[in-house]
Structures are given as structure tokens and as C-alpha cells.
Structure 1
Amino acid sequence: MDMEQRAWEVEAQSLAALPSDARKQKQQSNSARHIGIDIFSHARPRGVLKYVPTDFVVEEESIDGDIVRIDEPVSFEETAYGQHIAARLTKCGMYSTLQASLELSHALNIPLENIHYAGVKDGQATTAQRLVIEGVQLEALQQFRDPRFVIESLHRTSEIIRLGELSGNHFSILVRTTQTITQQWLDHMIAWINQHGVVNFYGPQRFYEPRLLSHIFGRLIFQGKYDEALKALFLMPSQFEPRAIANVRSRLSGCYGRFDDMRRVMSAFPYSFAVELRALDAMQSGKNAIDTLNAIGDQTHYWALAYTSLLANELLSEIVLKKKQMPEELPLLLSTTKWTWDTYKKQLFRDSTQQYIDNIKPIAAIRMSKSPRVSTVVRPEGLRAVSVPEGVVFEFSLSKGAYATTLLSYFFDLVTPPPLIAGISHECVDVKKVLGSGSLKHITSHFQREIESVQKFHELIVEE
């Protein structure tokens, strides 16, 4: 496929050819309970996230507190020494850090493991973060071009960054609304949050939007049901997917195991079935279920994290609803401590995942930690909000492991297109300019085609 003919553009063409009834999709306004969050019983205004990628801007904060600014020019510094190249990755569109890294590794002909980053940033967003790249010539990196993201060399380095080596992220976000939100109400909510903080739930992006089934795949692996996990990847329906995608999964169920037929069925929707197509490549080469799960190891690891996140969300919801004493921290399941076992034992027996340590051993991609833990309550730094005709523009910083969507859920009943809801503004807004913290002018200029394509893609799916 030509680089310009991206997977999701092929999918957009396929969707555009379908009747409107096949392009219907339910909104995700009831998705919180699906991922274990059960505390938002009060009425909240409806808010739309990520109508265009520039509505959701994420700038990484390093351990030393420096922010990787999206709107600051950079140039290569020859003064530093080392065998690796430190670079800034700026992306805008439908690609996550993982997907950008895959494209970069293919283009530069280096192993994916040579590309290091501290955090995985969303697709459907505009993000800036630091990379360290091994085994690449500076000239090759400087000549690299891709319309979906920009790699700008910073300096040579001998140090590798690891996942988790960041202090947090800085956010500039537009939430689009169908009604006017008063500044008085926003100020009241901000004062309450600054005093009490927010419960640190894992947000929907942890569960692979829009399908929101990653925790189920993870649970099956934790049960030792590797073949069933793969089959669920291809066939399990989701109430949050468009009908067109559900129809493809239905057709797949009739040809599961016939690899050429499966590929033909998925070929019109290569964006929605990107992971499935990678898994199919491994299956078609003769790999068994365990080897296939290892072949798509980046995804398999995140399925495991999704299941552990579901258990944490359920436990946090129970603590809030039953008004129990909130602990300062919770352990995460990918560890072997007695604290972890005591915390999640009831849920593990409920799900028949109590043998998870043995069951995940064959999956090398699922990494155990000595004692991973998460803060139960977080307080955003520098939280402010500005009411604008299109909705509300927010600015804040969160520590690593905290989700912007969780904070914003205290203000709004959030939905993420597709589909669009009627009544929102379609105007592009420079959130940096509104906040007086810079400008996205060069971003919107450089990624104009990408932004417009995402906009059109979202408008193809209609609300059911």
C-alpha cells in the first residue's frame, strides 16, 4: 500500500460506499461501567472529545520537569556525544506511539526494540514526546518523512529511556458541547477538584477504543485460554463498533481458520482490523496461539494491562460507592507480592484467573514487575478552564499513570467520535492560543491534510 493511501483512508472509502444504516454506531456514553467505573450517577452535560486531533494536545513532561513543547522549534546539537539519537516525535492524527514506532522501524530498517520512549501517547490526538533511537545514522533520520508524524533530531546520547521514565503529561484540550457552559460552573468544579482530587480510574484508551474489549482478551490469557483469546480478537462483537465492522466480524465467524478468506473479508477495513491482520500474518506462517500472541507482543502486553486496570477500576468504584477508607495506593496485578494477592483475590477467583502467574509465563511480552502500584487519588496541577463558543478549553498537568479523560469525566458525560453527536460546532480551535500558551498554527498547517481526513472520517459514522 502506498504511504499516502493509509489504512484508515482505505477504510473511509469502504465506509463511504455503504448505506447509512450500515454506518450507524452507538455512542460510548455508557462505556464507563463497561470498564469498571461505576461512580458517575449524577447528571453531567454531554461533551465530545477528539473531534479533530488538535482538540486533544499532549506534551510529555520528563522526569526532570521539562515539557516537550509541541510549538517550540528544535535543531540538532552536535555538542553532545553518544551512539544513539535523541529526537522529538510530533504526531497528529489517528496513529499512536506504537504505530508510529512500527512505521519508523520499517522505514529505517531497524528492529522495533531499537526505538525507546517513556510513554505511549494516544492516537486521535496531537502529541509531542521524546524518543531515543539505537542503530540509526543521523542522516537517515533527518531524511525520514511521513505525513502522519515528524521526527526531529535533538542530539546524540548514550542513555536509553525506558517506559515509565517520565513525570507526567501536560494537556491542552477542547471538549465540544451542545450547550453553553458557564465560567461560574467551571470555576466551582475546579475549586472542588483542587480540594478533593479525582479518583484515579483507568480511562477508555487503556481498553483500546472504540471496541473496549482488551480486558476480555487479557482475562482469557490470564485463564490460559490462548486460542480463545485469539478467536475473540477476530470475532467477539462490541456494542461500541459501527455496524459495518460488526458485519465483518460476523462474516469472519463463517470462515475462521481459512486464512486467505479471512484476509479478503478484512481487507476493506485495514484500520479497524490492523491488529487482527498482524495476528493473521503470524497464524498463516504456521505459528501456534502462544507464538502468535508473542508475535503481536506489544498488543498482548496491553491486553494484560487492560485486565489489571479493569480490576483496579472495579475496586476503586467499590471503595467509593461503599464509602470505605480510600488507601493511598493500590497494587497492580502484574506482580507476585502478597499485597497484590490479598487485594485482588476475590476478583481473581470470580474470573477463574487465580493461576495467572503460571498462565502468562509462556507469553514473553507480558512483563511482570516487582511491585507496581498506582495512586488512588490524583490532583491535577495548574487546572484551568475557559468557556468558548465551541465548548470548554482545559489546561492541566497530570502525573504519569493518570488519565485526562478521568478528570474530564467529572465535568462531562464524555463521548469520542465516531459517531458524531448532533449540535456540536465543527470549527477548528487553536487551544494553545485560547489559553495564551502558544499556538498550533504550524501544526494545523503541516498536518492539514491529516486533520481534514480525520474530520471526514468521523462524519461518515452516524449516531444510532
Structure 2
Amino acid sequence: MKPVPPIDRLAGIGCYCTDFAGVGGAIKQDSADFKVSEIVGDLDFAQSYGGPYRYPLYLLDKAGVDSNHALFEIEKEHRVRLRVMGIKDARATTRQYAGAQHAWKDPPRKLVTRRTRIMLQGFTKRPIGRESLAGNEFEISIRGCRGSIDNFVPEIGRIANFYGLQRFGSERLVTHLVGRAIIKRDFALAAKLLLCHTTEYDSEASREIRSKCEDPANYQQALKIMPRGMDIERQLLSALADGKDAISALRAVQITIRRLFVQAYQSYLFNLCLSRAIAAGEEIASPKPGDLCFEMEGPATFGRIIKFDAQSKALQVPAVRMAGYTFQPGKGRFESITRQLLEEEGVVARDFYVKEMQELSQQGGFRQAPLWCRDFSHRDSTVSFKLPKGSYATTLLRELIKPEDPIRAGF
């Protein structure tokens, strides 16, 4: 099986899952090449305000900006604060739902910014949450595709549900390192990594700025030359330059971004767990005695967590218990690996309850081991498919393309 690129290993992805040779090519060369639309489940809303239906629901179309920065842009230009159910990448054309967190009788019906457009759809009974998101539908064009995709289709069921590079900052690949430092209570290191960490993909200008951030004496000078696009770093550096301690400075970064750091560390451990299981010859798509499983409700809805029951007629999908402060390893194969990883990392479950920054504490939870892809089809070099929430289209595409350099190939 083809070896994985070094950057994949840095994200905990240690293997490919298919024998397919790969078609090569690149994705996300233009925002229009990567189209994403949200699939919602139970989203009860009315066309007009009244009775229990009091919370505005919008459809957000965006291109060339990630979801968090799209919301910043809308709030800055129109003084409208919204929340989304899922985070979408910048290098894509996306359609997703956004909602206000307070009752609002006469909200604007349409708002436009440079990279976004929102249209009022109606009103919900309560603010929208992630529980209403069922998944995402993708239509992706691969530029420079070589060879046939036909032989890839039978292997899709073997793909592990790895978190993609976007989870870790893509070419910077730093978010899980920041998260690890937070879990280990080294908040000064977390701030330093966020400001100063560089990779081979950094420009000379970026390297110069991050090098200056190594020395507190240079903070004011670094702020003057730091571009607006480095908004997270600017927030952190401005707080440090004002003399705030590391915890207070980290809190200058918006909470939705801060939470991603610890979640990225959990994701890294999950990727390592699946990689080790596959390297040990485990079949991650089929449940075994001792496994915890999702009991499927219909063809694409993940239901309750159960112990694998060989006598059950219900479809059961292997589940991995995520690291978190409620993690209690049982006898399952994935739990045993995660326990070993935590020992190697010098971390225990209770470390994920961060007393010093309680808003970043992470309980844990479960995630399906195989990538649960549905309705895959292709036409020439364009592929279409559906994935449940939390799964990455790029996880499927890396198996299809087998890129030599994932970052330059658009990952």
C-alpha cells in the first residue's frame, strides 16, 4: 500500500485504507470547484413570526471565506450576530443554515457582504444547534484527474473516518499542538505555538513576523507589521503586548476558535487510534465482540450507542470512544488503543476538564470508525456524495487522489 505524505502523519493519519492507485490531480483550485450544501434533519420552522416560532432562520451562501469569518463579516458590516450548525472551509462555495440566538420579530430579510449572502427562511422554536444537522452533500471537481474513478467505487466502504487536515490548520498544522499544551496546562506554550509555529509552507514574510513574536520586546513592532488576515494572532498578540498573562491573552481569541484547539487534540488522538488499529490488521468497518457501535436508524442516521450484538438484525457501525474527561476505557479494541495513546502522551482523562479555562473542557463522546459515505457518483472528473455531520470530504478524496503533496493539491 502506498506510503502517506509526511504531513498526514503529523495529523495522526498513518495509512491509506484502499489499494486504489489514485487518479492524481488537485481540488479547491477555485471556490466553485468545491460545493457543499447542508442536509438538515429535524428543523421545525414557520414562515412567519408568531407563537413559539420566534428565532430567525437564515440560509447563508458564501464563497472564499470560512464560516467563522463569514459570521464576523456579517456582524461587522450589519450588526447582526448569527450562529451556524457546522463549520465550512474557506476554499469552497457553500450553503448552510444560520440562526439568531434571540427572539427577533422583524429581522432583516436579506443581507449581503463582499463574500456572503443571507436570506431569511422563517422562524424556529429555539436557536438552531448542531443536533439539527444531519450531514453535507458535496459536488467536487478534480482538476488534472488521470485515470478512471470506476475502480475506486468498490473500495469506498473500507475508508476510515479520519479527521482531515483542515481540522488541524491545514498547512500550519498547529491547532492540535495548541490543544495539547492547554490540556497539559502549559498556557504560555499554547500562546507561543499559536503565534510562532511555522512549517515549510510559511512565506518568508510570515516567518519574519512569527520570529519577532518569539521575544516579548518585539510585540509592538510585530503588531504593526502583522497583516489583518492573521486576525487570531493579532487578538492574542495585542493582549500579550498589553501585559496580560497567557490565559487572559488566549481568552482574547473568540470562544468558538479556542474550543477548536482542544477538539483538534482529541481529533489527533482519534486519527492515531484508527491508524494503529488498521496497522494491526483490524477491520474497522465491521464490528467485533467487545466493540461499541452506533445502531443505525434507517440508512444514514446514527442512533444510540450499544454494545455489539451478533444476534441483532439492526445495522451496527463500529464506534470509537473519544478522549475526554468522561473517558473510561472498557475492553473494546479501540478503547485499548486510546488508553495506550493517553499514557504515551502523559495525559489522563481528567486533564480534559480544564479548571483554569473551564469553557474549553471536553467531555468526550463517540465517533464512527468507518467513513459513512452515501450516494457516491461521478461524471468525468466531478464526484458527488453525501457524508454525515463531522465527516470530511477530503478524507474520501485523499484515498481517491493519493496526492504526493496534499497542501499543493488543495487539501
Bin the TM-score by the shorter chain: 0.7 to 0.9
Aligned to 1:38: 14
Question: Residue 339 in 1 paired to residue 339 in 2?
Answer: no
How far apart are 1:356 and its partner, in Å?
5.5
Question: Where does 1:406-445 land on structure 2 (aligned, <5 Å)?
Answer: 406-414=395-403, 419=408
Contact 2:59 2:98 in 1 (8 A): yes
In the other structure, the counterpart of 2:68 is: 98
Shift of 1:135: 4.2
1:378-408, CA deviations, whole angstroms, 9 ceiling, x for partnerless residues? 2311101122xxxx10100001121111111
Residues 78 and 287 (structure 1), Cα distance of their counterparts in 2 relative to 1, 3 Å cut:
same
**1:108 and 1:162 mapped to 2: Cα distance?**
23
Matches within 5 A, 1:301-316: 301-316=259-274
| 1:265 pairs with 2:246 | no
Gaps of 5+ in 2: 285-290, 292-317
Query: How far apart are residue 278 of structure 1 and its match?
Result: 1.6
Contact 1:49 1:414 in 2 (8 A): no
Q: Give the Å deviation of 1:150.
A: 0.5
Describe the superposition over 1:144-185 as per-residue Cα deviations: whole angstroms up to 9, x where unpaired. 3201010111112232111343111000011212x5323xxx
Give, in angstroms, the shift of residue 101 of structure 1: 1.6
Alpha carbons 1:83, 1:134 under 8 Å: kept: no
Please identify, of 203-212 and 292-301, the stretch whose mean Cα deviation from structure 2 is larger: 292-301
**Residue deviations 1:2-32 (CA, integer Å, cap 9, x gap):** xxxxxxxxxxxxxxxxxxxxxxxxxx95421
State whether structure 2 residue 29 is matched by structure 1 residue 51: yes
Runs of 4+ in 1 over 4 A off after TM superposition: 135-140, 340-343, 415-421
Q: How far has the Cα of 1:97 moved from its partner?
A: 1.1
Which runs of 5 or more structure 1 residues have no equivalent in the other structure? 1-27, 67-75, 422-464
1:289 aligns with 2:250: no
Q: What secondary structure does 2:358 align onto? A: coil
* 1:163 and 2:139 are equivalent in the alignment: no
| Aligned with residue 146 of structure 2, among 148, 159, 180 | 180
Q: Which residue identity lines up with residue 262 of structure 2 in the other structure? A: A
Q: Which moved more, 1:403-412 or 1:233-242?
A: 233-242
Identity %: 23
How far did 1:34 drift? Answer: 1.5
Cα distance in 2 for partners of 1:322, 1:358 equals: 28
Q: Which residue of 2 aligns with 1:134?
A: 101
Deviation at 1:60, TM superposition (A): 0.4
* Contact kept? 1:51, 1:417, Cα under 8 Å: no
Normalised by the size of structure 2, how large is the TM-score? 0.80
Paired residue for 2:390? 401
Deviation at 1:79, TM superposition (A): 6.6
* Deviations, residues 283-335 of structure 1 (Å, cap 9, x unaligned): 34443211222332222211111111111111111111110353511111234
Cα separation, partners in 2 of 1:143 and 1:191, compared to 1, 3 Å: closer
Q: Which residue of 2 aligns with 1:212?
A: 173
2:340 corresponds to 1:377: no
| In structure 2, C-alpha distance between the alignment counterparts of 1:285 and 1:122, rounded to whole Å | 32
What is the one-letter code of the residue matched to 1:32?
D
Which amino acid is the alignment partner of residue 324 of structure 1?
E
Matched, 1:148 2:125: no
CA contact (8 A) 2:209 2:222 kept: no
Secondary structure at 1:167 match in 2: strand
What one-letter code is carried by the residue in structure 2 that aligns with 1:405? T
Amino acid at match of 2:68: L
1:7 corresponding residue in structure 2: none
Matched-pair contact (CA < 8 Å) for 1:380–1:396: yes
**Distance in 2 (alpha carbons) for counterparts of 1:61 and 1:415:** 32
Q: Match of 2:401, as an amino acid? A: F
Give the letter for the 2:209 counterpart. V
TM-score, normalised via structure 1 length:
0.72
How many residue pairs get aligned? The number is 366
- The answer to which structure has the higher helix fraction is 1
Distance in 2 (alpha carbons) for counterparts of 1:415 and 1:166: 33
Distance apart, 1:89 and its partner CA? 0.7
Do the aligned partners of residues 309 and 118 (structure 1) sit closer, same or farther apart at CA in structure 2, a change above 3 Å counting? same
Aligned to 2:47: 77
Determine if the alignment matches structure 1 residue 324 to structure 2 residue 272: no
Letter of the 1:395 partner, please give it.
Answer: S
Q: Distance between the aligned counterparts of 1:336 and 1:99, measured in 2?
A: 32
